[in-house]
Structure 1
Amino acid sequence: MKYWVLISAALNRKRWRTGLTIGSLTVAFLMFGLLRSVAVAFTGEVDFEGDDRLIVMSKLSFVEPLPLSYRERIRAIEGVDLVTHREWFGGTYIDTKNFFPKWPVPAEDWFEVYDGFKISEQAKRDFINTRTGMVAGRALAEKYNWKVGDKIPIIGDIWPKEDFTNLWEFDLVGIFEEKEGSAIYGGEDQVFINHSYFEETRAWGKGTVGNYIVKVKAKEDNERIAKEIDTMFANSSNETKTSTESAFSKMFAEQVGDIGFMMNSILSAVFFTMLLLTGNTMSQAVRERTSEFAVFKTVGYSDKVILALVLCESLTICVASMVLGIILSYMVFLAISADLQAFMEDIAFEFSVVSWALFTAVLMAIITGLPPAIGAMRLKVVDALRKN
């Protein structure tokens, strides 16, 4: 307790400086808590199924469409079981924060290709037979309290209707779930729209699709079939690039993984600056108290105690800032988590964020506190008193 009194007195000696230092570090740890949560979500391990499905996309870009006529030509390749397709719809449900993937797909065979989804036979039939039909994942339906029979309005931001209005209205005819053990990209947080209605109603882009999904009879033929597809359309105006769905999903995850790297880079720059700030604060504080340390040594405090006192001052500043910053970042995370999860369903404020913050605070305290602490420990009483 007597040592804490000394540490507290040292920190209160220049309250404005201590307060500003803690405030700056608190903001840094606030950023740390939020950005690390985002970085963890983007750099987590990805393990999606789809080794028996191939994705055929434009060689130019994922958003470049392919002709609808490619479907039958792909289906004719030996070893191909089924061919379906999808298109990115975009659009907004009530508010822009209500983001979820919306895919116009062929109702007839979509759930044959994606047999990792579970849906009732009645819902399948209704999806096929209902011109404006839509099916939604269980998680999404529960999130928005949707029930079969509801009309779901979507404001189109990419695809206007033929009359150039943007309001699309779909009938929810079924709810699907992921089978146990399945790991399909998007899972139950997406909806599928009857492509027939989309195709005949959209104002432009008719006769094209976003990409094809090819289900193969034997995954050992993946490489051969992918090569045949790309060779078939080589030197055409719409060349293709084919890969397994699992590889395609991982490619997307790796691309957004760069965002995780960017977040970590920002944090590194912030904490390097904070390192310089805290180091300067500690060095200045020790220089101002040279005579005090001389008196401590005169009355019997050992060199090791002097070293420990300075290190504890640095540790108190860094850990107090970390605690305040992480508490604030958690409060901010709770306030915005619903919006974040609309874009990154795996984002969470994990314990690893807190443990990394504590490790960073302790490391920073040692790096910034050790040099002035060693200087104070080695201080000669006579020299210190002479300076003052």
Structure 2
Amino acid sequence: MNDFTLIRKNLTRRRLRAGLLIFSIFIAFLIFGMLGAVRHVFSGENIKIADDRLVTVNKINFTQSLPVAYVERIRAVPGVRAVSYANWFGGYYQDPKNQLFTFAVEPESWLATHPELQIDDAARKDWLGRRDGLLVGEAAALKWGWKIGDRVPLSSNIYSQKSNGSHSWDFTIIGLYTVADPNVSTNAVLFNHAYFDESVSFGRDTIGLVVLTVDNPAMNEQVGRAIDAMFANSPAETATDTAKAFNKAFAAQFGDIAMIVTLVVGAAFITILMIVGNTMVMAIRERTREIGVMKSLGFPARRILLLVLGESLLLSFAGGIPGIAVATVSVGLLGHALGDFVQGLTMTPGILATALALMTGLGFCTGILPAWKAMRLDIVTALGRS
């Protein structure tokens, strides 16, 4: 019988207890994996955004509008290379449940400020020249079965048309866009702001946000201050920050995700550490006479220590590996289901590496004390204990 078999036999001698411990560790790592993936998404670390891209919104709240006239004034700020703007349309397809990331944008400048959007020359030409043209992300087209040339009605849960009060606009799909970064979603649809602005019943000549690029990322703070100072004390003051910071601020609406994850995972692991550690001490106490017999048969103290430590490590990995595996599958399914609204929800190598480190640490911390006691146990004392 080799040492691994001996470790396995000792671990499973009380199957109910071992099963409950493994299940509790399984749940802890399932929670860790899923919350870790969510934390990674909301941190914005998974999406590469150009360092020279800034976003200007209303200082009160990004849901408040800005006058479209601000765009030309921002364009004149020294250091600004390109400027575009957008309105959140609040769109859906056929049914309000079918929400879409839908923006009314100025096509030419939007492509200039978002060079990551890859479209062919024909689609670019059509989009710039057709007011009702709709540029669709590849994932959105695949999801809804759309193809170039289709006539698509999109409805808004915010806006209506001034001519007939309808909440629906008709568009013609002129092209699809793709991106090189797999973490960036292609579920958005974009259409001409001029087409939207001329027909909307309220909010004409206003925009939701301004997107701009600067000549050098080192100028971000300087340009941002200049823009906000220009509109200080106006009816619509502005707040300008990097696109990365804007995304993080948007995520912060849902709470401090990092703190929530840390508290939940920390509480789970402290609880598991106490339970498993106490159980391992109790298990070794139950086997005191057996350890004494093993020592009398010539098992060296170091081997005894490794056997007990191996038992706690096997327990940790037996629960942790299935837990993180199920979390990986669950995150993949969740990412597919929420792909329209959550970009890049995947199990990252960093989360997996951290999980393996935690499994090792959990096994070591819960096993080292009973292993040390077993190693130092006196043979006479052990054999004399009933």
TM-score (norm 1): 0.82
Aligned residues: 381
Moved more, 190-199 or 309-318: 190-199
1:55, CA displacement in angstroms?
3.0
Where do residues 292-307 of structure 1 align in structure 2 (5 Å cutoff)?
292-307=290-305
Matching residue's letter, 1:64: Q
Partner of 1:337: 335
Task: Decide whether the 8 Å contact of 2:91 with 2:100 is kept in 1.
Answer: no
Distance 2:258 2:3 in 1: 42
Partner of 1:209: 207
Partner of 2:323: 325
**Pairwise CA RMSD of aligned residues?**
3.5
Choose which of 257, 267, 278 in structure 2 pairs with 1:259.
257
Distance 1:222 1:359 in 2: 39
* Residues 307 and 254 of structure 1, relative CA distance in 2, 3 Å threshold: farther
Moved more, 231-240 or 219-228: 219-228
Partner of 1:24: 24
* Residues 151 and 266 of structure 1, relative CA distance in 2, 3 Å threshold: farther
Choose which of 261, 266, 269 in structure 2 pairs with 1:268.
266
Matching residue's letter, 2:247: F
Matching residue's letter, 2:343: E
* Residues 217 and 276 of structure 1, relative CA distance in 2, 3 Å threshold: closer
Structure 1 residue 249 and structure 2 residue 247: aligned? no
Distance 1:3 1:80 in 2: 68
Partner of 2:8: 8
Task: Decide whether the 8 Å contact of 2:88 with 2:102 is kept in 1.
Answer: yes
1:305, CA displacement in angstroms?
2.4
Distance 1:274 1:253 in 2: 32
1:289, CA displacement in angstroms?
1.9
Matching residue's letter, 1:170: F
Task: Decide whether the 8 Å contact of 2:185 with 2:344 is kept in 1.
Answer: no
**Residue ranges of structure 1 left out of the alignment (5+ in a row):** none
Distance 2:306 2:81 in 1: 72
Choose which of 215, 220, 227 in structure 2 pairs with 1:229.
227
Distance 1:387 1:100 in 2: 71
Question: Alignment partner of 1:28: what SS?
Answer: helix
Structure 1 residue 198 and structure 2 residue 199: aligned? no
1:214, CA displacement in angstroms?
4.3
Q: CA offsets per residue over residues 176-230 of structure 1, 9 Å max, x none? A: 455x8xx8x9675422112123224434333321122346678887666544432
Task: Decide whether the 8 Å contact of 2:332 with 2:345 is kept in 1.
Answer: no
Question: Alignment partner of 1:136: what SS?
Answer: strand
**Residue ranges of structure 2 left out of the alignment (5+ in a row):** none
Matching residue's letter, 1:175: L
1:306, CA displacement in angstroms?
2.0
* Residues 281 and 127 of structure 1, relative CA distance in 2, 3 Å threshold: same
1:113, CA displacement in angstroms?
4.9
1:50, CA displacement in angstroms?
5.9
Q: CA offsets per residue over residues 106-143 of structure 1, 9 Å max, x none? A: 24643355455454565345435544321123454355
Partner of 2:147: 147
Where do residues 83-162 of structure 1 align in structure 2 (5 Å cutoff)?
83-93=83-93, 101-107=101-107, 109-114=109-114, 117-119=117-119, 122-138=122-138, 140-142=140-142, 144-162=144-162
Distance 1:308 1:77 in 2: 68
1:82, CA displacement in angstroms?
5.6
Matching residue's letter, 1:35: L
Task: Decide whether the 8 Å contact of 1:97 with 1:342 is kept in 2.
Answer: no
* Percent of residue pairs identical: 34
Matching residue's letter, 2:173: L
* Residues 138 and 2 of structure 1, relative CA distance in 2, 3 Å threshold: closer
Partner of 1:238: 236
Question: Alignment partner of 2:227: what SS?
Answer: helix
Partner of 1:34: 34
* Residues 138 and 156 of structure 1, relative CA distance in 2, 3 Å threshold: same
Matching residue's letter, 1:59: K
